[in-house]
Amino acid sequence: MKLIDGKRISNDKRAEIKEKVGKIKQQTGEIPGLATILVGKDPASQVYIKSKIKACEDVGIKSFHHNLDENSPREEIIALIKKLNGNPEVNGILLQLPLPQNRDAEECINAISPLKDIDGLHPFNAGLLNLSKNWNEIIEKNILVSCTPLGVIHLLHKSNIAIEGKTAVVIGRSNLVGKPLSMLLLANNATVIMAHSRTRNLKEICKSADIIVAAIGKPKFVNKDFIKTGAAVIDVGISRTAEGLCGDIDFNAVKNMDIEITPVPGGVGPMTITMLLENTLKAFNNTEKQLFNK
């Protein structure tokens, strides 16, 4: 088994982002800015937000955090988003999900300006991704894509794991991970199978894959019976169990296999936050281009 070192790849990317932010400040006097919104006091969400704020500080991105009460009505959340849409110091807006009390976040997400939608969840950005012809077009157009899928592709590229012509199985069909990741893999010329909890013969389907991405949210769901020798296995899941943190892959069951795999923690997680910084930088550049072209 060979580990895909998400921490190292993430740190390399953050150093690159820090250098770019420094050049922007030196050349223009401006600093990219990220606004985070946390509704309520969910402990896990608080940890995520703190990590994102710290990451911004580390690379020189301005951070604007807003904490709303758990019972804040949707209208109040949307009013804050609209205010941030109009703030020129804010280039990216992140609404921490899920919202408390199982509230539907769709209306709030749609209120975020597509130019500042660094989670890539706005229908406009999701549409741009789905209409993209290839990976080069996604890069050239600075399309804002969901951070975790973008991080997965970056891990594969930097680990020299071939995507073109390979069979990739994505287990999970969420708007945040499964669907956009499938489109990114297609853009990199993979043959993609999107599987999910109701897929029949899932083990057999996964066994044919050169690349497996597990994003189903079930701890240790994928074992050695799902994976063929030589496959690259990306574990997006993270769950807290009595034994500690674990992913959707049964790591101990596959550790003696001849595969490449991301650990949990230390694999996809660091890349998600790093791609949040990358998207903030993209959003800053997109805004600058728009202003220039007016």
Which tokens go with 61? 């991105």
Say whether 52 is catalytic.
Answer: yes
Catalytic site residue 96?
yes
Token pair in block for residue 62:
């301005």
Q: How many CB atoms lie within 10 A of CB 35?
A: 26
| DSSP assignment string, 78-105 | HHHHHHHHT-TT--EEEE-SSPGGG---
Question: Residue 237's CB: how many other CB atoms inside 10 A?
Answer: 23
Angle between helices 6-28 and 268-293 (to 10 degrees): 20
Catalytic residue among 5, 13, 117, 119: 119
Tokens linked to 131: 């209409």
- Whether residue 158 lies in the annotated active site: no
Write down the catalytic residue from 13, 20, 52, 179.
52
Which tokens sit at 9? 């790849």
Dihedral of the alpha carbons of 40, 41, 43, 47, in degrees to the nearest 10:
80
Nearest-angstrom CA–CA distance, 182 and 52: 25
Name the residue among 168, 159, 166, 122 with its Cα closest to residue 144. 122
Report the candidate in 45, 48, 105 with the shortest Cα–Cα distance to residue 72.
Answer: 105
Given the residues 20, 96, 116, 220, select the one marked as catalytic: 96
Distances (CA, A) of 276 to 29, 51, 96, 125, 146: 22, 11, 12, 15, 8
Cα–Cα distance between 99 and 107 in angstroms, integer?
12
Catalytic center residues: 52, 96, 119
